[in-house]
């Protein structure tokens, strides 16, 4: 299915992005690995076991939107096309609304929403001209359920789901697929790297995160969803899945339940 497909993964230097790179490599894909830390990207590229001509290490800062056209051209110069773009880059949050600087909200939206919209728009003409392509957006259960200490993150992930729902509807006739992934608790460093109310790193591992699904298990489930061209898929544990069901059928109950969510 993914043999010789060009798969571009942002946020590929760790966590879900790294796990996805390893899984797609096993499937025979050509990889483009992007994140800010070039040394970590090179480490992941080596772990894939792919020959140098099958993997492009492409460092990029998602906030440097003006650089996107040149980055896309590098991919096209190397592989000739882009089959799948996996938008995995992002940052989480750990702070109460009353204790969060407004600038923190702007920064979260720039990283978790606007940069992703910008890269999608930049790659879209390439896929339209090829009359094929697949966008994969890594949103979150937080894009469905708002909880304490995550207001900015939840807002950005809600927005992401809405944007990609619209893209899916608009690009159907261009034979472009859109898959939105909503992970629950996945055992990554996302809480360590989350921002606090003053914009500093949270620097602590959440208990729920530490007990979450392994990143490689998550990656395999995402590959299955992409392979089957699913529209939207939840990937996570029992309690997050239960929360989604309660939100759907008993929303008033869910709104009461989240008041007591353990945010640590």
Give the pLDDT confidence score for residue 262 in this predicted structure: 63
Short-list 25, 3, 13, 23, CA closest to 235:
23
What pLDDT, on the 0 to 100 scale, is given for residue 264? 54
CA 136 to chain centre: 8
The distance between the two most distant Cα atoms of the chain, rounded to a whole number of Å, is: 54
List of long-range contacts for 252-259, beta carbons under 8 Å, 24+ apart: 254/145, 258/145, 258/146, 258/147, 258/148, 259/148
Report the C-alpha gap between 178 and 163 in whole angstroms. Answer: 11
- In tens digits, what is the pLDDT along the chain, a chain of 264 residues? 899 999 999 999 999 999 999 999 999 999 999 999 999 999 999 999 999 999 999 999 999 999 999 999 999 999 999 999 999 999 999 999 999 999 999 999 999 999 999 999 999 999 999 999 999 999 999 999 999 999 999 999 999 999 999 999 999 999 999 999 999 999 998 888 889 998 888 888 878 788 889 999 999 999 999 999 999 999 999 989 999 999 999 999 999 988 877 655
The structure's pTM equals 0.94
Helix and strand element counts for the chain (H, E): 10, 7
Distance CA 133, CA 137 (A): 13
Q: Which residues are catalytic?
A: 153
Which pLDDT does position 31 carry in this prediction? Answer: 98
Cα angle vertex 189, ends 69, 142, to 5°?
Answer: 75
Joined together, the tokens standing for residue 108 give 């979260």
Instruction: Write down the pLDDT at residue 157.
Output: 98
> What residues form DSSP beta bridges with 186?
213
And the tokens for 162?
């809405």
- Per residue, the 3-state secondary structure of 167-206, as one string, reads HHHHHHHHCEEEEEEEECCECCCCCCCCECCCCCECCCCC
Residue boundaries of the structural domains of the chain: 6-260
Q: 87 forms bridges with which residues in the sheet?
A: 137
Q: Which residues in 80-194 belong to E strands, given as ranges? A: 84-87, 133-138, 176-183
Which of 76, 2, 62 has the alpha carbon at shortest distance from 34?
Answer: 62
CA distance linking residue 205 with residue 36, whole number of Å:
22
Helix (H, G, I), strand (E, B) or coil at 116: helix
Q: Which two tokens stand for residue 123?
A: 């790659």
∠ CA 40-215-204 to the nearest 5 degrees?
A: 75
Residue keyed to tokens 């914009």: 199
Q: Which CATH superfamily is domain 6-260 in?
A: NAD(P)-binding Rossmann-like Domain (3.40.50.720)
Residue 18 contacts residue 34 (beta carbons within 8 Å): no
Pairwise CA distance, residues 148 & 98, whole Å: 11
Model pLDDT, residue 63: 96
């Amino acid at each position: 299915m993914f043999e010789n497909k060009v798969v571009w993964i942002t946020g590929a230097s760790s966590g879900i992005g790294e796990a996805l790179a390893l899984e797609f490599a096993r499937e025979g894909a050509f990889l483009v690995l992007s994140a800010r830390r070039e040394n970590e990207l090179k480490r992941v590229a080596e772990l894939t076991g792919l020959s140098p001509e099958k993997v492009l290490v492409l460092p990029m800062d998602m906030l440097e939107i003006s650089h996107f056209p040149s980055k896309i051209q590098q991919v096209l110069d190397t592989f000739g096309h882009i089959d799948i773009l996996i938008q995995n880059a992002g940052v989480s949050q750990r702070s109460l609304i009353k204790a969060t600087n407004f600038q923190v909200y702007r920064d979260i939206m720039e990283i978790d929403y606007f940069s992703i919209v910008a890269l999608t728009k930049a790659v879209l003409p390439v896929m339209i001209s090829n009359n094929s392509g697949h966008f994969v957006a890594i949103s979150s259960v937080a894009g469905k359920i708002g909880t304490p200490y995550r207001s900015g993150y939840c807002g950005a992930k809600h927005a992401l789901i809405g944007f990609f729902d619209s893209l899916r509807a608009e690009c159907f006739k261009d034979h472009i697929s859109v898959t939105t992934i909503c992970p629950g608790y996945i055992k990554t460093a996302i809480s360590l790297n989350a921002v606090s109310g003053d914009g500093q790193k949270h620097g602590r591992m959440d208990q729920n995160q530490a007990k979450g699904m392994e990143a490689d298990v998550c990656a395999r489930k995402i590959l299955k969803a992409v392979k089957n061209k699913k529209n939207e898929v939840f990937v996570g544990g029992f309690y997050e899945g239960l929360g989604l069901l309660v939100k759907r059928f008993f929303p008033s109950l869910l709104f009461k339940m989240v008041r007591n969510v353990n945010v640590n």
